[in-house]
Homo-oligomer: A and B are copies of this chain.
């Protein structure tokens, strides 16, 4: 089970690279081990080219290393906090992707002006607090904003994005779509004001997408 998850989490980092969400080593994916109080996460400071399933680090929900030769990602405490406080979460992703981080640097949520945003995020993408690394502040900020929120993505002020999902893959999808809509809405606003979508329509789109879209097996 853990071996499969090591492989999956390792492989999903390639999607961060493919979609240009990360520079050098600045982004990480983790996945919860089903049925255990453990998660698998990227090692710290290792380049994406050099990642292997064996180099992934297994941590407990306090962020202590249980298995692995490398130090875990410097963002491990934030991932751990999310897994401890949001039992429905099976995957967490963190990036400094350009457009999402640009909204985050202004402390400004991304308004829901695209049907794709209504589909995936159910409304605006919210802002989390400024928080320093090194304790539970980042994790606490993520959980405070995302608990009970439709959006699987939060823009941490002056920092970057954290996304959650039922699986590591779902969290990666949210990270990819977050940057995609962050860019499109940015570009749209550069030359004027995007038209709002009525709340009723946002609700209908969100409900439909969560319940109808995709092959059953790929959800």
Residues of B within 8 A of A159 (CB): 114-116
Q: How many subunits of this chain does the assembly comprise? A: 4
A: number of interface residues (CB 8 Å):
63
Q: Smallest Cβ distance from A153 to chain B, in angstroms? A: 14
Q: Smallest Cβ distance from A95 to chain B, in angstroms? A: 11
Interface string of A98-119 (1 = CB under 8 A from B): 1101110111100001111000
Q: Could you tell me the distance between the alpha carbons of A16 and B82 in the complex, rounded to whole angstroms?
A: 36
A139 interfacial by beta-carbon distance below 8 Å: no
Residues of B within 8 A of A99 (CB): 187
Q: Could you tell me the distance between the alpha carbons of A105 and B44 in the complex, rounded to whole angstroms?
A: 35
Contacts A23-B180, A215-B44, A215-B71: A115 and B133 contacting too (C-beta < 8 A)? yes
Q: Smallest Cβ distance from A177 to chain B, in angstroms? A: 6
Residues of B within 8 A of A213 (CB): 44-45, 74
Task: Select the residue from A26, A98, A158, A208 with max chain B CB neighbours within 10 A.
Answer: A158
Q: Smallest Cβ distance from A121 to chain B, in angstroms? A: 13
Residues 143 to 192 of chain A near chain B (Cβ within 8 Å): 157-160, 173, 176-177, 179-180, 183-192
Q: Could you tell me the distance between the alpha carbons of A179 and B191 in the complex, rounded to whole angstroms?
A: 16
Q: Report which of B24, B26, B102 forms a contact with A187, defined as CB distance below 8 A.
A: B102
Known A44-B213, A130-B197, A132-B204; 9 more pairs at CB < 8 Å? A26-B177, A43-B215, A45-B215, A45-B218, A102-B194, A114-B158, A132-B205, A186-B187, A186-B190
CB-CB nearest 5 A-B residue pairs: A45-B214, A102-B188, A102-B187, A105-B194, A105-B188
Q: Can you sample 17 A-B contacts with CB below 8 Å?
A: A23-B179, A24-B177, A24-B180, A43-B215, A71-B214, A71-B215, A96-B114, A96-B184, A101-B188, A102-B184, A102-B188, A102-B194, A106-B192, A108-B192, A115-B160, A132-B205, A133-B205
